[in-house]
Structure 1
Amino acid sequence: MTKEICVPAAGESVTEADIVTWYKEDGDYVEMDEALLELETDKASMDLTAEAGGILSIKVEEGTVKVGDVVGTIDDSAAKPAATVAKTDATPVESSAPAAAVKEEKTGAAPHYAASHPSPAAQKALGEKGLSASDVSGTGRDGRITKQDVAGAAPKAAPEKVVKKEEASVAAVATPGERGTRREKLSRLRKTLLTRLVDAQQTTASLTTFNEVDMSAVMNIRKHHKEAFKEKYNVGLGFMSFFTKAVTIALQNWPLINAMIDGDEILFHDYCDIGVAVATPKGLVVPVIKNAENLSFAEIESTIKAYALKGRDGKITLDDMSGGTFTITNGGTFGSMLSTPILNRPQSAILGMHNIVQRPTAVNGQVEIRPIMYLALTYDHRIIDGAEAVQFLVNIKQLLEDPTRLLIGM
């Protein structure tokens, strides 16, 4: 029986996705629940797994597909192939040896029709490396040449000859120091970010207010308790947990900062779902810490760590990023001194953290060197007045400079 591999629904607004890569080759035997391919939607990347074990047949190798499209099939009536004969010593041998070794391994049985036949992905890789099917030994099912076989094959040595004029011009373009150009296709995630960021700038009355915070007290707490904290909770005590707790208290004191415009009404939230901007290899994503006001420092740090790992591996899901009433972004991890964050629509405010720098500061009439961080709050002036935004940011400053306030919610 043949089972279709269909593009699943991935949220209300998601109607299509891009095929990033197939983990398996056409004709491979796959196990149930084994990852087959990676899809990228407007909001996240996700793996599509096999619903049954069997022989994979790829229908759509790459490109954009819509929800419900069939990208491949699995023949679950096909028997699982027997384990292949153990390979001979894999150490490199003389260039004349591979051909002889192949002949010695062959038996009197007639070769399978798929032997030495490349899969679609392998065929493309062969062209890129300038190889032919006869230059590569297939290790796939029934001797089929896979993409991994091509990747492991040595590029074909160019024969000694006089370089043609056309070839010389191509080589000249690739010479280091030349003014070359190249183009890369925008990923679906990047195109979505492009649209959302421009929309935020054009549809809101964004304004940014600034303040500075003396991080001495927070840094002293981390210094004295970080080892015991990590030993007990198996996660580090970072700055984000302090800022997240401070933000949730300030949002409860200034609920309009936690609200958003919904048509002709203002939608207030009695909970704090805090989005944390995470830089990933594919772009910026904002997973959400749900009900952050009810979480402990350890729970916040564990959630952020889990999101960071998922972001690194491209495994953040739509559920991880759904909702959010306020966002925190930390440019300080990259060395940013000061910035004006862009609103994460439809939210009405976003807090920007920056790097901590030792600066001369007036303390009780004396100049002292203190670790100072600049804070930036961008807000939608359509519903948030300047006085509220400034007092909200001052509240965060007070909570961080006197962290005992975090314990009593002041």
Structure 2
Amino acid sequence: MPAAKKLILENDININIMQGTGKDGRITKGDVLFFLKSNGTSQKLTDNKNKKENLKINENRKGSTMDITVPTLGESIVEATVSKWLKNEGEYVEVDEPVVELETDKVTLEVPAPISGVIGSIIAAEGETVEVGQNIGDLDPSGKKSSDDKPKAKEINDKEEKQLETKDTKTSSSETDLKKDDAVKLPNSQEEIVPMSRLRQAIANRLKSAQNTAAILTTYNEVDMTALMKIRSTYQPNFEKKFGIKLGYMSFFVKACINALKVYPAVNAEIRDNNIVYKNYYNIGVAVGTPEGLVVPVLKNAEYMDFPEIEKTIVNFGKQAREGNLTIQDMSNGTFTISNGGVYGSMLSSPILNPPQSGILGMHNIQKRAVVIDDKVEIRSMMYLALSYDHRIIDGREAVSFLVNVKENLEDPQRMLIGV
């Protein structure tokens, strides 16, 4: 149910006497919130009493402002950093138009304008930490859009500009006091201090937490990719023509891992308090590198996805990650992760667990190597595989057997079609 409709029904508001600021007079969530704020109450009102009060509010609406607040950011996330104001004070915005960009530990999100109007004041500056529900600015609904209303850069007069040129960047003894744009670089220095983004801090904390909490152990194997590569090259043209997307390796790995997870459920489990939680669903995280850091969007219920759906979803995730448009929901509730360091040329690595998951598979680059097959030396396309796992709940036998199962599925892809 749309947020505006839900609020109207919950508060028994007569919409016939409300003023909508949305397109074609549409009543938006901001209009409803403005109405409730102006009344000073959210309790149910009677029609006769409300009619007079609501009309009065609409008449006096000019000169009033609507707060721009920090929205709910997701489960367990209570604060964010003001990354960038997309609009300036005095600039007109339409309802639902993005006005400010917030950066959390997991994602960067845009906060839309609750109503149409002019940005009255910006309370929280860029780089400031803000909490959910905090007022960071306000909108004047009485403001009108002018014909020459264009985004204006923040003005700095000549005096201020000269002061900025001669003023040294001040640093604090604590790195946390550095603002987002405070890059500290001394003359003729070979060092530059740049504050970590919230995403980078979150990645660092989670990785270190994983090492401190889980008993991480890694087992290795290698897989002959020859048969899989042949299948991929054979069906690539028809696959791309039919589905409009290339057939990659990741969909095969997702399918192979799901088959192995069904045989060895402990690898798909997690520790919760003093319990082991076995999950009968398979949400496979796919690690994606971005300039800001590594993110892991999740293929939800991947056991029900076919090859085209997996490939399309992964491509879409990659695009969203590069544009910074992944949501918290996109990266939540994973049960197992696949990381492909091979795209960067990695030959072998030991991936770190993505808590609270208990297993992560590391893919690497494909190289032609001499291997012995039927007592003969042959040139084959080989890849090293690495499985890092939480030894607290996964025994070595299970981990090794899981990785062998993945290897067998990849070396003989037809096994996945008949489930053996």
CA distance in 1, matches of 2:71, 2:402: 42
The residue aligned with 2:390 is: 380
The residue aligned with 2:145 is: 80
Alignment of 1:290 onto 2:354? no
Alignment of 1:49 onto 2:59? no
- Give 3-state SS (helix, strand or coil) of 1:192's partner: helix
- Give 3-state SS (helix, strand or coil) of 2:156's partner: helix
Q: Deviations over 1:270-304 (max 9, x none)?
A: 11000111111211111110011110000001111
Identify the match of residue 59 of structure 1 among 123, 127, 142: 123
The residue aligned with 1:314 is: 324
CA distance in 2, matches of 1:8, 1:125: 38
CA distance in 2, matches of 1:204, 1:318: 24
* Identical amino acids, percent of aligned pairs: 50
Letter in structure 1 aligned against 2:187? V
What is the Cα deviation at residue 12 of structure 1? 2.5
Equivalent residue runs for 1:126-137 within 5 Å: none
Letter in structure 2 aligned against 1:361? V
Equivalent residue runs for 1:89-238 within 5 Å: 121-123=154-156, 173=187, 179-238=189-248
Alignment of 1:363 onto 2:373? yes
CA distance in 2, matches of 1:124, 1:390: 67
What is the Cα deviation at residue 61 of structure 1? 2.1
Task: Tell me: CA distance 1:80–1:172, structure 2 relative to 1, closer, same or farther (3 Å).
Answer: closer
The residue aligned with 2:98 is: 35
Task: Tell me: CA distance 1:260–1:234, structure 2 relative to 1, closer, same or farther (3 Å).
Answer: same
Which range moved further: 364-373 or 57-66? 57-66
Letter in structure 2 aligned against 1:304? I
Task: Tell me: CA distance 1:357–1:124, structure 2 relative to 1, closer, same or farther (3 Å).
Answer: farther
Identify the match of residue 263 of structure 1 among 266, 273, 277: 273
The residue aligned with 2:409 is: 399
What is the Cα deviation at residue 128 of structure 1? 6.6
Letter in structure 2 aligned against 1:78? G
The residue aligned with 1:149 is: none
What is the Cα deviation at residue 323 of structure 1? 0.3
Q: Deviations over 1:251-272 (max 9, x none)?
A: 0111111111111211000110
| Total equivalences in the alignment | 335
Letter in structure 2 aligned against 1:35? P
Alignment of 1:25 onto 2:88? yes
CA distance in 1, matches of 2:345, 2:81: 33
Q: Deviations over 1:311-351 (max 9, x none)?
A: 00011110001101100000000000000000111111100
- Give 3-state SS (helix, strand or coil) of 1:8's partner: coil
Alignment of 1:70 onto 2:135? yes
The residue aligned with 1:100 is: none
Letter in structure 1 aligned against 2:98? A
Letter in structure 2 aligned against 1:200? A
Letter in structure 1 aligned against 2:279? H
Task: Tell me: CA distance 1:383–1:308, structure 2 relative to 1, closer, same or farther (3 Å).
Answer: same
CA distance in 1, matches of 2:207, 2:158: 37
- Structure 2: gaps spanning 5 or more residues: 1-63, 166-184
What is the Cα deviation at residue 123 of structure 1? 3.0
CA distance in 1, matches of 2:157, 2:238: 54
- Give 3-state SS (helix, strand or coil) of 1:123's partner: coil
Query: Does the Cα contact within 8 Å between 2:92 and 2:149 map onto a contact in 1?
Result: no
Task: Tell me: CA distance 1:369–1:128, structure 2 relative to 1, closer, same or farther (3 Å).
Answer: farther
Letter in structure 2 aligned against 1:3? M
- Give 3-state SS (helix, strand or coil) of 1:173's partner: coil
- Give 3-state SS (helix, strand or coil) of 1:250's partner: helix
- Give 3-state SS (helix, strand or coil) of 2:408's partner: helix
Letter in structure 1 aligned against 2:206? R
What is the Cα deviation at residue 396 of structure 1? 0.4
The residue aligned with 2:70 is: 7
TM-score (norm 2): 0.76
CA distance in 1, matches of 2:209, 2:303: 29
Q: Deviations over 1:222-264 (max 9, x none)?
A: 1111121111111111110000010011101111111111112
- Structure 1: gaps spanning 5 or more residues: 86-117, 133-170
CA distance in 2, matches of 1:126, 1:390: 69
Q: Deviations over 1:8-47 (max 9, x none)?
A: 1111211110011111122111111111111111111111
